[in-house]
Every structure is written in structure tokens, then in C-alpha cells.
Amino acid sequence: MTDRMRWNRRRRKGAAGRGALGISGISRIRKGSEYRRKMENIRFIIIVVLAASFAVFAAIAALAIYSEGLAKFVGGIESMNPYYFLAALGVIFLGYVIRFPKWEFYLRKLKVKIPRAKNFLIYLSMYSMDITPGRWGRAMVSYTINRISKVSFARTFPAVVADIFTDFLGFVVVLIVSMIFVHKFFGISLIITILLVIPFVFVYIKGPFLYVKKRFGHIKRLRSVFDIGNLYFRYNKMLKGSAYAYSMLYTIPAMFLNGLALYLVILAFGVNMPLSSLPTVLFIFSSSLILGMISGLPATLGVTDAALIGYLTLFFPATIGIGLASIITIFFRIATVWFVEGFGFSALLYTMKYWSVEQ
């Protein structure tokens, strides 16, 4: 028997062992299993998000009831003006919509082409992961883009980092401007802001990455991580300083709108809040979020909400007590957590069809 005949015999035997599926069939099964696993992970995250936020809301409600009684708590909720609250939801959604051009700009810089309508849904799906530590869960959109345009994960990940970083810078700008009017907590706010900048040093300055790679690059399990890091820094060069400056034109107004939503929620509960108090409300909004960001998951929601309640009673003691501050916080967080997670997860579930191997 010749070598050629032996090779053909082994090939037929292997095909028979694999059955009718063949190599392509096995590949489809593996990819299908991967898809189902990712779907299960997403469902798990959804459950955790809802459970965590519900637990925090329940704790705040218990505080309000303990402080002022059940009747006053229920009466406070019933007094809400729904038109102000709907306006707050509209303002929040607008704040996310007006940030879309900066996302498009990042992808253009990275030479990634996706139809605008499809890209908008991908962009919205990012915000389903805002509850993850440091909002790094937004990186899952790089996987979606990979399945659509076949570009590498490393090429689009710099856009995700830039989006997170510029959002953070928007919070900082609103905080600093509002502190000029408030004249309180300047030192602690500045220290916390500096601490939050530190993680971005490692994703924008290559030196620390090269140092870590030199020390641990010999570890086999970390080689793929360092390979991705090399690609990330290569593509990140395509996003120059002008890209960040341009994106702030959209980010700062968006952060202002999110702060305005808190002002509208306060008005929804009949508080006499003159427009001159808006800078104070913006400070409460931005500083409480920054305090929550530095705490990390799972404490983020609790710390942010505790700061909101504390600031509201501190700055407006004559009109807002603990009970009312708790109600305002619950409804503001419904707007900024449940509402945002709602349209974010809706967009994510739609775009996940691109993850399927059938697409």
C-alpha cells in the first residue's frame, strides 16, 4: 500500500468518525456553544444589575420609612408630578444621543466602517454595561463590531477606552465648574478625581505596560494579554489629542443634561427650587457619581445614593429632609440606572443577533 493510499484511508476513517457533521459541523457546534455561553453570561449580568439596584432602592425606602413613617413616604411618592419626571427621562436620553457623534468619530479615526443605524444601536448597547467596575464592560461592543465588520477586537477597544475616559472628563468639568459656585468640598473632590485618573495612565502611557511585560512576559498564560496590549497601543495612536478635544464638545453638554435631570426630579416632588440653585444641583450630581465610581462594584450604587441623600439634606435642609431626599434619590436612580440599563439592554439584545454564527 502506497503512502497516498494510506493517507486517503485515514482521511475516510476520520470523516466517518466525525459523522455527517464533518469539520464544518463541529465548528458550528463549538461556535454555537460559545454563543449560548455568552448569552447566559449576559442574562446573569442582567439579573445581578436588577437585583443589586432593587436591593439598594429597598434599603433607601426602608431608611425613608424609618425616618418619617410609611404614610409620609407613600404620600411623597403619590405627590410626584409625572410630567417633570418624563421630562427628566427625555433629558437623560438626549444626553446619550448627543454623545453618539464622538463614538462615530472614534471609529472613523480607527478606520472602522459600520452603517450609521446599526452603529447607533451598537453604541446604545454599551450602556447596558455601565454598572460594571469602571464601566469596562462596555468593551463587549468590540466583540459585536468584530462579528459585523471582522476587524480585530484590539482595533476598536481604544474607542471604548476613549468613550469611558471622556465621559469621566465630562463629570470632572461639571464638578469643577459647579465647585466655583458652591465653595465646598473642593479638596476631597480634587483628591478623588486624581485617584480616578490613575487607571487611565496605564491605558494611555505605554511605559508602565512595557515594564509589566518585561517582568511577566515569560508567563505563558499572560502572553495573549500582552499581545492584545501591543495591538491596543498600536491602534490607540490613531486617536490623537484632537479626537479627545473634539469629543468634549459633545460630552460636556451631555453631562450637564444628566445633572439637569436631577433638577427636574427635584421639581417633580414639589420642591421650590429656583434656577439659581442649578449649580448646586450639578455639584451634587457630579460629586456623588465620582464618589460612587471610586468605590467600585458592588458598592457603587450604594455609595452614590448615600452621597445623593446626604448632599440633598446638607445643601437644602429647609426644604428637603431625609425622607424626601430618599424618594428623590430613588426616582433619579430609576432614571439613571433602570431607564439607561433598559434601553441599553434592549439595544444589546438586538445587536446580539450579530454574535450568532448564523449571521
d(CA 260, CA 265): 9
Residue 111: Cβ within 10 Å count: 10
* pLDDT (tens digit per residue) in 130-152: 776 667 778 888 888 888 888 88
In this predicted structure, which of 33-37, 55-59, 93-97 has the lowest mean pLDDT? 33-37
d(CA 121, CA 117): 7
Residue 120: which H helix or E strand, with range? Answer: helix 116-125
Domain that holds residue 170: 62-354
If one counts the domains in the chain, the total is 1
Let me know if residue 47 belongs to a domain.
no
pLDDT of residue 92: 96
Cβ 277 vs Cβ 297: under 8 Å: no
- pTM equals 0.79
Q: Would the pLDDT of 270 be above 80? A: yes
Let me know if residue 1 belongs to a domain.
no
Question: What secondary structure letter does DSSP report for 336?
Answer: I
pLDDT band at 22 (very low <50, low <70, confident <90, very high): very low
Between these two residues, 237 and 306, which has the higher pLDDT value? 306
First to last CA, the chain: 45
pLDDT of residue 28: 42
pLDDT band at 252 (very low <50, low <70, confident <90, very high): very high
d(CA 237, CA 66): 55
Between these two residues, 136 and 12, which has the higher pLDDT value? 136
Judged by DSSP in three states, 192 sits in: helix
pLDDT of residue 152: 81
Give Cα separations from 29 to 32, 35, 37, 38, 41 (angstroms).
5, 10, 12, 14, 18
Give the Cα-Cα-Cα angle 344, 346, 352 (nearest 5 degrees): 100
pLDDT of residue 268: 95
Amino acid type, 98: I
Q: Would the pLDDT of 56 be above 60? A: yes
pLDDT of residue 84: 96
Cβ 80 vs Cβ 331: under 8 Å: yes
Residue 346: Cβ within 10 Å count: 14
pLDDT band at 36 (very low <50, low <70, confident <90, very high): low
* pLDDT (tens digit per residue) in 98-142: 999 999 999 998 899 999 999 999 999 998 887 766 677 788 888
User: To which residue does cell 494611555 refer?
Assistant: 204
Q: Would the pLDDT of 73 be above 70? A: yes
| Average pLDDT score, the chain | 80
Let me know if residue 33 belongs to a domain.
no
HSE-CB for 64 with a 13 A CA cutoff: 28
Let me know if residue 45 belongs to a domain.
no
pLDDT of residue 103: 94
